[in-house]
Amino acid sequence: MAYGKYLVVRLLNALVVLIVVIFVISALFNKVAEDQLKVEIEENIRAATRDPAFARMSETKQKEFIENKREYYIQMHGLDKSYVERVFGKTIDTLTLDFGKSHRLPSPTGSKEVSTIIKEVLPRSILLFTTAGIIYSVIGILVGLKSAQRAGSSLDKGISIFALITLSLPMWWVGMLFILLFAFKLQWFPASSFPLPQYENFFQYAGGVLYKMFLPLITIVFVSFGAWAYTSRNLVIGILQEDFVMVARAKGVPERKVIYGHVLRAAAPSIVTLTIFTLLGSIGGAIITESVFNWPGMGRLYWSAIQMNEISIIMGLTFVTVFLYLFGMVFADLVYGYLDPRIKVGVSGKI
Amino acid sequence: MRWEDTKQSIKNFLFEFRHQKIGIFGITVLTILLITAVFAPLIATPGAKENWRNMAYWDENPVNAPPAWMNYFTSKDMSPHVIMDNYEEKITDLGGGIKQDQVIFVYNYEYDIPPTDLTFKGEFVYYNSSKPPTVNMSILRPDGETIKLYSKASQTGKPEDDHYVAEINVLVTASDTAKKETYNFGRNFETEENLKKVLSPDFVKPMSVIFSKSEPGILLEKAGPLKGEYKLLIDVFYFDERDNTRSAKSIFAGKVYGLLGTEKNRRDLFQGIVWGLRWALALGLLVAIITVVIGISFGITSAYLGGWKDELMQRFNEGMASLPMIPILILIAAAFKPSIWNIIIIFSFLFWTGTAKVSRSMGLQIKEETYIEAARCLGARDRRIIMKHMIPQVLPYAFAQMAMMVPAALLSEAGISFLGLGDTTVITWGQILFDAQFAGATLKGLWWWVIPPGLAIAVVGLTFVMIGTALDTVLNPKMRRM
C-alpha cells in the first residue's frame, strides 16, 4: 500500500506547487495584463467612433456614447472588480486552461483563443523533445556503459571532456552553428523548419517532417548526450563496485550479462528518472533552439509572442511548460518508485 | 577557526590544487579574462561602449565585413579598412578672387578585391555667405586616367562667428555622378556583347570600375585589379581670400575589417566582445556568490532547525526547484523589461535550490558531530553554532558550487537576451547573437557575427566549469555524496 501513498503524496505536492505558482504569476502579471486590456479597450472605442452614425450624433451624445462603451468594456473584462478578485479569477481561469484572447497574433487556423493557439503548437514541440530525448538517452547510456567499463581509457577521458565542453555551450548557439554549416555551407538541410510539409500520405509526410526536424534534432542530441553519458558513466562505475557484481562475476556469469543484466537493472531506476530530469532540464534551452530553427512549436510561438508583446500568450505558454515540467517530475518519481522495489514495499518510508 | 589553522588549510589546499592540471588551466584562463575585463578601456575603445546602440557613431565602418585575418586563408587579397586624415594641399590662385584648394589623398591599392565604399568627409570654412565653395571630387588612377566622382556647385553651411562652415559627406556608392562617370569610363573599354548586359549606370558598381584594369569586363567586375598608387583629388573652389579647408578625411571602407569584422549596422564586433566580457563576468560571479550564500544559509538553517520547520523549508525548496527556469524568466523579462541589476537579483532568487538541498544534507551530518553538541552544552546560541561551526565546514563545497553556478547564470542571461529581452543599456553577448539572429546572419553565412559571441560564452563557462571540477576534486568532502 506504500506505493499508493507515495503516489498520492507526490501528486498532491505537485498540485499545490502548480496552484501556488499560478497564483503568484497571476498576482504579478495582473498589472501588465490590465494595462494591455486598457489599451485594447481604447482601440475598440476608437474603432466604434469611426462609425458614420457616431459622426451624426451631437457632442454631448458622443461623449455619453464613449462613456457607455468604456463602461461596457470595463465590465466585460472585469476591470471594475477589486485587485484580489481579479487575481483569484485569473488563477481559476488559468487552471481551467482559459488563457483569454491574444491581442493581435492569431493561430495558423485563425483563432485568437490562446488555448487554441497553444494546442496547435504543443504536439510539434512534444514530438521534437521526446524524439531527441529518446535518441540521446539511448546513445548516452550505451556510451556511458562503455566508458564505465573502460574507466580511464581514452574513450572515457574523451567523453568527460566532451561533457564538460557541451555543458557550457548554449544549445541554441550550437543550432546557429549547425545552420551555418549544414544549411548555408553544405546545403544538406533546410535552415528553417517552417512550414511543415502538407499531408498526402503517411510516409511522404513522416519523411518530410523528419527532414525538416533533422537539424533541431541533432542540435539537441549533440548538446545533451555528452553530459548524459557522463552521468550514466558515474552511476555505472558506482554500481560496478557493489558486492553483487563481484559475486556475479565470481559465479562465472558472462560479462555481457553482468553489464546488461545485473548492472543495468540496478541502475535502471536512477537512469530512467535522470533521463526524464535531463529532458525536463533541457526544455529551456530547447524552446530557444526551436525559435532558431523556426520549428513551429512552442519556441517559435514564444519568439513571436515576445516580439509582439503578447503577454497573455506568454502566460499561457509558461503555464503549459510549468504544468508539463511538474507532470514530468511526478512521472519520474512514479517510475522511480515502480522500478525501485524498496519503495514499492515501503522499506524506506522517507524518500 | 584560528588564523594558524586557516593558513595551514589554505597551504594544504594550494598544495593539492597544484596537481589539478585542469584547474590550473582554468585559473590561467580566468586570470587572462579578468585582466582583459579590467583593462577593457585600453584594449577596446571606451566610446564604443557608450555608443553601442548609437548607429551614427559607427557610420565610418564597412557593412558585414569579415575579419582582416581572413586574407591569410583566401587566395584573393581583400582590401582592409583604411581611414586617412593626412593629406597634401595645393593652393593655386586662379585670379578673379577665385582660389583653388586641391586636397590630395594617396592610396596604395595592392589587393585583388576593391574596398566596398569610398567616403569623403570635409569641413570648409567660407566668409561670404552668398558664395559657398564648390567641391569636385575625382580619382586619379595609376594608369593616368581620371574619373570624376562628385561635383556640387555650392554647399550652404552652418554660421559660426563671422564665417560659415560647409560640411560635405560623399559616399561614392551613393553618388549618381560616380555611377554615371564610371559607366561612361568603362564603356570605352567594353565589348559590344558586355555592354548589352549593362544597360544603364544603375547597374554599375563604381568601386569595382575604379579599381579594375581598363579592359573588357570592367563593368561586369570581371576585369583584373589595377594595382598601384591612386590619388583621390578633392578640388575646392573658394571665392574669398580667407576661405580655407578645416578638415578632410577619406575612408576606403574595407572588404575586411579589424580582428573580428563588422556586422550589419557597421558595429565593430571586437568592441562588442571585449565590452561584453565585463558584464558576463560581473553577472556570472555576482549571481554565483549571492545564490550560494542564499542556498547555504537556507540549507544549513533548515538542517539545524529540524522538525516541522525543516519540513516546511524543504517543501518550499522543492516547490522552487520544480519550476522550469527559462520559461519563468522569459515571462518575468517580457512583462517587466528588467535592468541588468534586476536580472542579477531575479536569477539569484531562482537558482539557489540545488545548493540548498546539498548543503542541508551536509548540515544534517555535521549537526550530529560531537563538537556541535559540545558547543550547545556550553550554551552557544543557534546563530553562533550555525555561523561559527556549521557554515565554515560547508565553505569548500560552496566555492566549488559557485564556480559551477557561473556558466548556468551566463547561459540563462544569454538565452533571455537572445530572445530580445535583455537590458538594452549594456552590451552582452546574448544581445549580439539576438541581433545576428534578427538580421538572419546564419542564412547569409556571416559566421564572424555568430561564432565569436557564442564561443566567448562557452569559454567563460568552460573556465569556471574547469575550476569547479578541480575544486570539487580537491575539496570534495565525502559527505557530499550523502
From the list A176, A326, A329, the residue facing B450 with the nearest CB is A176
Chain B residues in contact with A309 (beta carbon < 8 A) = 334
Buried b (16+ CB within 10 A) or exposed e, B413-443: bbbbbbbbbbbbebbbbbbbbbbbbebebbe
**Per-residue pLDDT at B154:** 65
Q: How far apart are CA A21 and CA A51, in angstroms?
A: 44
B325, B419, B447: best to mutate for the A interface, most A CBs within 10 A: B419
The most confident of B1-10, B190-199, B304-313, by mean pLDDT:
B304-313
Distance from the B338 Cα atom to the nearest Cα atom in chain A, whole angstroms = 14
Instruction: With beta carbons less than 8 A apart as the criterion, state whether A246 and A258 touch.
Output: no
Question: pTM (2 decimals)?
Answer: 0.85
Instruction: With beta carbons less than 8 A apart as the criterion, state whether A206 and A260 touch.
Output: no
From the list A20, A170, A315, the residue facing B331 with the nearest CB is A315
Closest residue on chain B to A20 (Cα)? B319
CB contact under 8 A, A13 and B445: no
Closest residue on chain A to B416 (Cα)? A288
Question: B71 or B281: whose pLDDT is higher?
Answer: B281
Chain A residues in contact with B457 (beta carbon < 8 A) = 168-170, 173
- Whole-number Cα distances in Å, A299 to A194, A284, A307: 12, 9, 12
Q: What string of DSSP letters covers A255-315?
A: HHHIIIIIIHHHHHHHHHHHHHHHHHHTHHHHHHHHHHHT-TTHHHHHHHHHHTT-HHHHH
Instruction: With beta carbons less than 8 A apart as the criterion, state whether B97 and B127 touch.
Output: no
Average pLDDT over residues B3-22: 81
Read off the pLDDT of residues A314-339 as tens digits, 9 standing for 90 and up. Answer: 888 888 888 888 888 888 888 887 88
Read off the pLDDT of residues B45-89 as tens digits, 9 standing for 90 and up. Answer: 888 888 998 888 988 888 888 998 888 888 888 888 888 888 888
What is the SS3 assignment for A112?
A: coil
Distance from the A303 Cα atom to the nearest Cα atom in chain B, whole angstroms = 7
Element (DSSP H or E) covering residue A199: none
Joined together, the cell numbers standing for residue B127 give 566668409
**Per-residue pLDDT at A346:** 54
**Between A and B, how many residue pairs show a Cβ–Cβ distance under 8 A?**
139
B29, B314, B331, B428: best to mutate for the A interface, most A CBs within 10 A: B331
Listed range (A37-46, A151-160, A293-302, B131-140) with the worst mean pLDDT = A37-46
Interface of B with A in 352-411 (CB under 8 A): 407, 411
Average pLDDT over residues B447-453: 94
CB contact under 8 A, B335 and A311: yes
Q: How far apart are CA A214 and CA A228, in angstroms?
A: 20
Q: Flag whether residue B307 sits within 8 Å of chain A, measured between CB atoms.
A: no
Q: What string of DSSP letters covers A150-174?
A: TTTSHHHHHHHHHHHHHHTS-HHHH
Of A334, A337, A231, residue with least CA distance to A281: A231
Please name every residue paired with B82 in a beta bridge, in sequence order, or none if there are none: B252
Alpha-carbon torsion A49, A55, A59, A64, what sign? negative
Interface of B with A in 418-477 (CB under 8 A): 418-421, 433, 436-437, 441-445, 447, 450-451, 453-454, 457-458, 460-462, 464-466, 469
Chain B residues in contact with A13 (beta carbon < 8 A) = 315, 318
A94, A168, A322, A331: best to mutate for the B interface, most B CBs within 10 A: A168
Read off the pLDDT of residues B137-153 as tens digits, 9 standing for 90 and up. Answer: 999 999 888 888 888 76
Q: How far apart are CA A168 and CA B468, in angstroms?
A: 12
Distance from the B462 Cα atom to the nearest Cα atom in chain A, whole angstroms = 6
CB contact under 8 A, A287 and B327: yes
The interface pTM score, or ipTM, of the predicted complex is: 0.84
Chain B residues in contact with A176 (beta carbon < 8 A) = 433, 436-437, 441-442, 450, 454
Q: How far apart are CA B469 and CA B451, in angstroms?
A: 26
Distance from the A351 Cα atom to the nearest Cα atom in chain B, whole angstroms = 13
CB contact under 8 A, B420 and A309: no
CB contact under 8 A, A287 and B443: no
